[in-house]
Structure 1
C-alpha cells in the first residue's frame, strides 16, 4: 500500500518522480506529493495535494528544479485524504522531507512527546513524527539522524529521506514494507515497486528488513540500523518494461491482464510437466521424494483472492495426494497462536510476495521450526526470500488491483504441487498423465472463453443494475463463487455475497426476489442434479439467474442466462469456471463507468496490517 519513488543523478528529478508515481498509483491514490533538492545551500521544495497524480502534475510550480528528490502516493491510514496529510512530510524548518509506507504503532505517544516539547504538528499522520525526530537528532550524518529516529519507532516502515544539509544523498530504510534500489548510469533510483523502476534500469537490489541504504549519484551502500555494513548487491532481473503499459483501447490493465491468461498459463507450465512419468518437476520446492512423502498435512495461507484460490488448492491436494489440506486467512493465522507441526507443509500464497499478513505468518512458522514454501509472482520479493522453497508463478507484472492472471497461475501452481505430491503417494501414472493432458489443454480453452467476451458483456450489463447479488457453488465450486463475489464487489462496489448452494435453505433464500440476481456455478460433477434443483428453487422465487456451467448440463425449462465453459478434467474445471466471472465483473464495472484498475479504498499490495 502507498507508493514510494526516489531519484538522485544528473537529470531533473521532478518529471522522473511524477512518472514513477503514475506507475505506482495502483498502490495508493488518495493523495500524492514530491520533494526535490537542488545544489548545496538550496531550499527544499515540496509540492503535495489530495487527489490523483495527474492533479499534482497540473498544479506543480514551473520552477521546481532539483536533481535529488522523493515522491509518494498515499493510501490513507492515519487521517483522511487532505493536502496536509499527503506525503512528503517535513520538519518545522523544512530541512527534512520524509516519505513513508507502513504504520508507526507508537505514533500517538511520539506525537504527544513532540507536542509537549513545543513542536507544532500540522497533519493527522503517523509519518510526520519521523521528520521531526530526524530534525532533532544531533548526529553529524544523515544516516545517523535517520537511524536515531528509527530507534524510537515501533511498527513497520519503508522510508526515504532527503535533507537540505545533505543534498548529495537519499537515505532509505526498510522494516516490513518493500523498498527496491535501482542502479542506473550515474544515477540511482529507489521505489516500493518494480513498476516505477523498469523504465530506467533492470539492475536492482531488494532491501531486507532492518536494513538501511545511502544512495548517491554514483552508487549505493547498505548497512544495519547500527550503521554496520551489510553485503547487499544489485542483480539484473529479466523483465519487459512494456508489461507495465496498458495497451488496449480502453487503457485498462485489468482487461489486458485477463486476455494475457492463455500466454501466462503456458509460462507457468513450461518445463514443469513430466509426461513420461505423469508428474510435475518442481525443483524450487527444495524437497526430495522422501521428504515429500513424509508430509502428512498441507496448510495454505493467503489473503483475499489468494485465500480463495488457496481453498481451490486445498481441494486439489486432498483429491490428488489424499493428504488433509485446508486454507486459512493469513491475517488471522498468527494471532491464534497456531500449532506448528513438523510433518505439515505450509504454503504461503501472494501475488506481490510482500503481503504483510502473509509475510508475518511465514515468519511465525519459521520461528517455530515449520517448513514453508511460497507461491509468489514477484521474483526476489520478501516472502520468496523468507520461504524454504517455492514455485514462481511467471504470470508477468500484474498492475490492476483486482487479480486475474496471477490468480489463474496460483491455481496452476497448486495443480502442479498436488500432482507432484500425489505421484509420490498413490496417484497412478495414468491419472498423472490424464491431468497433464488437461493442464496442456487449459491455455487453448481459456482463449476460447475469451473469444466470447461480447456474450459475457451482455450478461454483465444485467448484473450491473442490481444493488446486491449472490454467487453460489458447491464443493469445488464454492471457492470459485467466493472469488467471483470478491471480484464483483472490488470493482463494481455492488454488494456480492458467496454461499454454498446447499446453504440457501438455511437462511439466504429469504433474500431472493426479482431484484437479487444469483450467479450459480454448476459444473458437470457428482452434484449436478442437486445444483440444478437449487436453481429451480431460486427461479420459483423469481430470482434472476446467471448459470456458469458445462454444455452437457441439462437445466430443463429454467429461465436463466446460461454461460457454457469448456470441460476439462474434473479437478481442473474450477479455473475455467473462474474466467467468465472475471469478465462479468469487468464489464459490469465498465458499464457503471468506474475506475476499474484503481477501485476506491483498495490497493494492489497490502503492506500494512
Structure 2
C-alpha cells in the first residue's frame, strides 16, 4: 500500500520522482505529491487528489532542486483529498515527510499537538510525525527522527527532508518495505524496486528497526541505538522492460498472456524425472526434517489464501498428511498454538503483505518452522522465512493477481509432490504428476486461445448486480478465487459457496437476474455437481459451467467453458484461468480500470 520514492544527486529531482511514482502507482492511487528542495534550501511541495498524471500536470514549469521525495497514496486516514496527500509538512514547511504504514497512536499524538497549539491541516497520522520532528531540539536531522520514533508506535517506512539539512534524506523502516538504490554520485529511494530499475541494479533493503542517511555520495545505515549496521548493496535482476506494457492494453491482459511462459519458468530445473519428485533446494530442509512434520499450515491473504486452500488439498492428496489454509490476517490474533511438528507456509506475491509478514514473525517468535512462497527476491517475507520456493513469475503490476497466482498453484504442486515422495507416494504416481505438470503451460495457452468464445457469457454477466460461484472440494477454492476476481475489478457483488451448501440457504436467492458460475470438473463428484446445476436451472437461474469436455451436461441450458483435463490434483490450476478471463472481460465491458480497481492496491503493507 502506498508508494514512496526519493532522489538526491546532481540532476533535477522532479522527473525521477514522477517516473518512480508512475511505476509505483499500482501500490496506491487516490492522491500523490512531491516535495523538492532547491539549492537555496527552500522546499516546493505539490500535492493533488487523484492519479500521478494529475500531479504531473500540476507541477510548476520549472521545478529546480536535486533533492526530493514523493508519494502515491492508498488512504488509511482521511478521504482522498489534497490536504491528506503526502508529503506532509511541519507548520513552517521546513520538515517534509512521506510515510507508508499506520501510526497506531496517531490520535494521541495529534491531540497532544493540538493542545500545544499546533494547527493540524489534515486527517492523517503522518502529519503528526512531521510536527514532532520539527519540534525536536536535536542538532541533527537523524537525532530529530530518532526522538520522534521514540514517541511513535505502529508500522512505518519514512523518508524525511529538512531545509536546515538540504544535503540529505533520512529514512526509517519498521514493518513496511524501504529500499535504497545506489547510483554514481546519486542515490535513489523507493518502497519497491520497480521505481529503481531504470537507474540502478544495486540496492539495499533496509531491515526492520533500521534507519539510513542518504546523500548524493553514499549512504549510512544504523539502528535505533545509533550503531552502524554496515549494509552492502546487492544486485537485482529485474529489467526495466519487464515492467512495460509491451503493446498490451492492460497489465492484467499482459500478465494473463504471460502465464504459459511463467509456468515453465516456475518448473524449470525443479522436475526430477529420474526419482519422480521435485527438487526444491531453496526449502533449506533435508529429507529427515521434512519427514518429521505431521501437518502443514498455509497462511495467505486474499487470492494467496484461496490458492493456499488448493495447495492444502494437493498436499493431503499426494503426501497424505493433514494440511489446511488459514487467512494470515486472522492468524496471530487468535493466539495460535505453534506446533514444532507443523510446517508453516507463508504465501505472498509481493513478499511484503503485512498480515502475512506478521504471521511469519509470530511463528518464528514461538519457535516454529516456516517457509515462503513469494515472487520477490529480497522481500521482507523472503528474508524472514527459513527457506522457500520462489515463484519466478516475473514482475506483476495489475492489482488482480494472475500469473503469480498460477505459479503459486504450481509451486504447491511441487511441494506436495516433494512431500509425497518422502512419504508414501508411489514412483508411478510421482511420474504421473510430473507428466501432468509438464502439460500445464500448453493447456493454459489452450484456455487463453478460447478468450473470444467468452463474449456472450461476459455480455450476460455484465448485466448482473450479483453472482454466485460454486464448487466442491477441489473446486471450492477455485470458486472463491473466481468470485474474488469478479468483485475486485468489475465491482459486481460475487459470493462463493460450496456447491453442497446451496440448498442450505443460498438457493433462496436464485432467480433469473442472479447468474451462477459452477466449477464442474470430471471427478468422483461430477454427478452431484451436475445435480446441483439442475437445481439452479429449475429456479430459472442462469448458469455458466467451467468444466471438462468429458462431463455430460445433456441438454441443460448451460453456457459452458471447456477446460483441458489434467490430473485431478492439478485440475484446479487450470480451472482458475477462465475465472481470470471472465473477470477481466466483464470489467472491460463495464468500462472499468482493470489494473487499478477502486479502493484496492497491489501490495497490502498495512493492517
Please indicate the TM-score interval, normalised by the length of the shorter structure.
over 0.9
Trace 1:135-214 onto structure 2 (pairs within 5 A).
135-214=134-213
Aligned to 1:34: 34
Conserved? CA contact 1:147–1:226, under 8 Å: no
- Cα-to-partner distance string for 1:481-531 (whole Å, 9 max, x where unaligned): 000000000000000000011111000011001000000100000000111
Conserved? CA contact 2:89–2:96, under 8 Å: yes
Aligned to 2:10: 10
Conserved? CA contact 1:3–1:73, under 8 Å: yes
Conserved? CA contact 1:517–1:544, under 8 Å: yes
Q: Distance in 1 between matches of 2:542 and 2:602?
A: 32
Aligned to 1:415: 413
Q: Distance in 1 between matches of 2:554 and 2:213?
A: 69
Q: Distance in 2 between matches of 1:189 and 1:464?
A: 44
Q: Distance in 2 between matches of 1:399 and 1:512?
A: 36
Aligned to 1:505: 503
Conserved? CA contact 1:38–1:67, under 8 Å: yes
Q: Distance in 1 between matches of 2:587 and 2:193?
A: 28
Q: Secondary structure at the match of 1:535?
A: helix
Trace 1:26-425 onto structure 2 (pairs within 5 A).
26-39=26-39, 41-250=40-249, 252-425=250-423
Moved over 3 A (4+): none
Q: Secondary structure at the match of 1:576?
A: helix
Q: Distance in 2 between matches of 1:22 and 1:457?
A: 32
- Cα-to-partner distance string for 1:194-232 (whole Å, 9 max, x where unaligned): 111111111111100000011111111100022210021
Residue 22 in structure 1 maps to residue 22 in structure 2: yes
Give, in angstroms, the shift of residue 423 of structure 1.
0.2
Q: Distance in 1 between matches of 2:247 and 2:303?
A: 25
Conserved? CA contact 1:99–1:161, under 8 Å: yes
Q: Secondary structure at the match of 1:349?
A: strand
Q: Distance in 2 between matches of 1:290 and 1:191?
A: 41
Aligned to 1:465: 463
- Cα-to-partner distance string for 1:65-90 (whole Å, 9 max, x where unaligned): 11000000011111111111100000
Give, in angstroms, the shift of residue 60 of structure 1.
1.1
Q: Secondary structure at the match of 1:440?
A: helix
* Structure 1 residue corresponding to 2:479, chosen from 478, 481, 488: 481
Q: Secondary structure at the match of 2:604?
A: coil
Conserved? CA contact 2:136–2:147, under 8 Å: yes
Q: Distance in 1 between matches of 2:376 and 2:520?
A: 34
- Cα-to-partner distance string for 1:121-166 (whole Å, 9 max, x where unaligned): 1111000011111111111111111111111100000010111111
Q: Secondary structure at the match of 2:467?
A: strand
Conserved? CA contact 1:356–1:607, under 8 Å: yes
Q: Secondary structure at the match of 1:435?
A: helix
Q: Could you say if the C-alpha distance between residues 226 and 457 of structure 1 is closer, same or farther in structure 2, counting changes exceeding 3 Å?
A: farther
Q: Distance in 2 between matches of 1:592 and 1:371?
A: 46
Conserved? CA contact 2:301–2:329, under 8 Å: yes
Aligned to 2:512: 514
* Structure 2 residue corresponding to 1:530, chosen from 509, 515, 528: 528
Q: Secondary structure at the match of 1:571?
A: coil
Q: Secondary structure at the match of 2:260?
A: helix
TM-score (norm 1): 0.99
Conserved? CA contact 1:457–1:584, under 8 Å: no
- Cα-to-partner distance string for 1:410-430 (whole Å, 9 max, x where unaligned): 011110100000001100011
Residue 495 in structure 1 maps to residue 499 in structure 2: no
Q: Distance in 2 between matches of 1:269 and 1:86?
A: 43
- Cα-to-partner distance string for 1:381-410 (whole Å, 9 max, x where unaligned): 000111011000000000000000000000
Q: Distance in 1 between matches of 2:484 and 2:226?
A: 45
Conserved? CA contact 1:47–1:56, under 8 Å: yes
Conserved? CA contact 1:457–1:588, under 8 Å: no
TM-score (norm 2): 0.99
Q: Distance in 1 between matches of 2:178 and 2:43?
A: 23
Q: Distance in 2 between matches of 1:523 and 1:345?
A: 30
Aligned residues: 607
Q: Distance in 2 between matches of 1:77 and 1:227?
A: 31
Q: Distance in 2 between matches of 1:221 and 1:432?
A: 51
Q: Distance in 1 between matches of 2:38 and 2:160?
A: 15
Q: Distance in 1 between matches of 2:259 and 2:460?
A: 26
Give, in angstroms, the shift of residue 435 of structure 1.
0.3
Q: Distance in 1 between matches of 2:375 and 2:581?
A: 22
Q: Distance in 2 between matches of 1:298 and 1:42?
A: 56
- Cα-to-partner distance string for 1:265-315 (whole Å, 9 max, x where unaligned): 001100001001100001111111111111100000000000000000000
Aligned to 1:581: 579
Aligned to 2:596: 598
Give, in angstroms, the shift of residue 15 of structure 1.
1.1
Give, in angstroms, the shift of residue 243 of structure 1.
1.3
Give, in angstroms, the shift of residue 462 of structure 1.
1.5
Conserved? CA contact 1:278–1:432, under 8 Å: yes
Q: Larger deviation: 240-249 or 209-218?
A: 240-249
Unaligned runs of 5+ in 2: none
Conserved? CA contact 1:523–1:550, under 8 Å: yes
RMSD: 0.8
Conserved? CA contact 2:547–2:563, under 8 Å: yes
Q: Distance in 2 between matches of 1:115 and 1:543?
A: 58
- Cα-to-partner distance string for 1:178-208 (whole Å, 9 max, x where unaligned): 0011111211101001111111111111100
